[in-house]
C-alpha cells in the first residue's frame, strides 16, 4: 500500500533511535507524537495514501509511548 519511500517500520525505528539518542522524556516525546499527528491531519485532507502512512506511524508511537 505504501510507496517504496514510505516505510513505517524504518521511520518508526529512526524516531525511536532519535528519542533514545537525545534522551527524550515526557513532554518531548509528546511533542514528537503531536508533530506526527499534525502530519496525519494534513495528509487526511490531501492524500489517502499518506493518511494511512501517518495513521500507522502514529498508532505505533502511541502504543509504545502511551500518549
Per-residue pLDDT at 6 exceeds 80: no
Contacts of 47 (CB under 8 A, 6+ apart): none
Write down the pLDDT at residue 49: 84
- pLDDT on residue 27: 95
pLDDT greater than 70 at residue 3? no
pTM value is 0.83
Q: What's the pLDDT tens digit per position in 13-63?
A: 999 999 999 999 999 999 999 999 999 999 888 878 888 999 999 999 999
Residue 43, C-alpha cell as written in the block: 495528509
pLDDT at residue 5 is higher than 90: no
How many CA atoms lie less than 13 Å away from 17 in the CB half-sphere?
A: 6
Amino acid at each position: 500500500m505504501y510507496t517504496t519511500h514510505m516505510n513505517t517500520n524504518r521511520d518508526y525505528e529512526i524516531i525511536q533511535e532519535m528519542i533514545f539518542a537525545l534522551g527524550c522524556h515526557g513532554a518531548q516525546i509528546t511533542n514528537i507524537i503531536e508533530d506526527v499527528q499534525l502530519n496525519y491531519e494534513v495528509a487526511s485532507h490531501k492524500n489517502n495514501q499518506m493518511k494511512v502512512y501517518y495513521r500507522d506511524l502514529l498508532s505505533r508511537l502511541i502504543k509504545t509511548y502511551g500518549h
